[in-house]
Structure 1
Amino acid sequence: MSVKYKLYQDNRKSSKTRGKFYARAVVSDVADLETISKEIEENTSAKQADVYAVLRELVNVMARHMRNGDRVVLDGFGSFKVGLKTKPAETAEKFNAAVNIVGTRVNFQPETHWKAGDPARTRAFLSGIEVRPYEPKPGEKGGTQPKPDTEENP
């Protein structure tokens, strides 16, 4: 298995890299809680329904902790925290949360491993990844094309 990619061109008018080509990963399938819990059942002695229930509760507990401003760390997996999308204020005194904070997001940092004396770090889930160009299946119209880049869609 490998991660497939498609090329896209940077068409943003004010970009220093306008006209250059970059790769974007193509999603090949979706692994939802149902699928993951079935796979865990196959690899352990736990029943799929029990695994599913635990994973659903994990989502609920993580959401509660993140709403409280906590960082959620899952050993061997990574950490999650809330990030803020903001607009700038001219001064600290002029900053108004209702006006300047325009959204929230989830920041995920995969667990990182490294060896003493080796400057290379390996992030959980990313070691051993191979990348290959996306090739549409027979009869497929080239698959989903990425949206052209614009000033609003960098």
Structure 2
Amino acid sequence: MIRYKIYQNQQKKEVNAGKWFAYSVVDETSDLAKLAEHMSKHNTPYSGGVIKGVLTDMVGCIKELLLDGKNVKIDDLTIFGVGIRSKAAETLDDFSLEKNITGMRLKARATDNLSTTNLKLDSQLRQQAKYQKPTTAGGEGSGNTPNPKPDEGESPDPTL
């Protein structure tokens, strides 16, 4: 069950100022050890420790392939890739790695059975807590208005 909260965009100068949005709420993040332990309980002869070792090796290999400029597809889950953040140069001669490449990012996009369409069809949503109007001026007091404001369709938690 995917839980969500509702918030009102408080940014006064934005196109969506004052409009209402939902954002997902996550109460736990599983690390490799928790994932391995969970997997070991699904009718497998392998212990959580063995599975964690394989997953740890997988993570290292995915990083190695990504840093070599390759994409990595995990069937029915995601395709990982590396993206470049760049700012424009006026001319080709003006472009330089130092001035125009501003950063790198990890890209992941759903694939196969975990496509966006299937995710929408397979998921169930439930409101985490009913929205309560703020009791004090300035929008504070309800605990339902996240800070900072998430991007449209994004979680306000930057770690997710």
TM-score of the two chains, using structure 1 as the length reference = 0.77
The one-letter code sitting in structure 2 at the alignment partner of 1:90 is E
Q: Deviations over 1:100-142 (max 9, x none)?
A: 21111111111135xxxxxx9425xx54211111139xxxx97
Q: Work out the CA distance in 2 between the residues paired with 1:50 and 1:97.
A: 43
Contact 2:5 2:144 (8 Å CA) reproduced = no
Q: How many residues align?
A: 139
**Map of 1:92 onto structure 2:** 92
The one-letter code sitting in structure 1 at the alignment partner of 2:81 is K
**Map of 1:9 onto structure 2:** 8
1:128 to 113, 116, 122: 122
Structure 1 segments, 4+ long, off by >6 Å, are 141-144
* Structure 2 residue 44 is the aligned partner of structure 1 residue 22: no
Q: Work out the CA distance in 1 between the residues paired with 2:29 and 2:100.
A: 35
Once the two structures are superposed, the pairs formed by residues 5-154 of structure 1 within 5 Å of their partners are 5-43=4-42, 44-113=44-113, 121-123=117-119, 127-135=121-129, 146-149=146-149
Secondary structure of 2:108 counterpart: strand
The one-letter code sitting in structure 1 at the alignment partner of 2:128 is Y
Structure 1 spans left out of the alignment, 5+ residues: 114-119
Name the Cα RMSD after superposition.
2.8
The one-letter code sitting in structure 2 at the alignment partner of 1:37 is A
Q: Work out the CA distance in 2 between the residues paired with 1:98 and 1:145.
A: 39
Change (3 A) 1:13 1:98: farther
Q: Say which structure is richer in strand.
A: 1
Change (3 A) 1:29 1:84: same
Q: Work out the CA distance in 1 between the residues paired with 2:47 and 2:97.
A: 46
Contact 2:3 2:24 (8 Å CA) reproduced = yes
Q: Deviations over 1:30-80 (max 9, x none)?
A: 111111101111111111111000000111000000011100011222210
Contact 1:6 1:26 (8 Å CA) reproduced = yes
Q: Say which structure is richer in helix.
A: 2
Identity of aligned residues (%): 25
TM-score of the two chains, using structure 2 as the length reference = 0.74
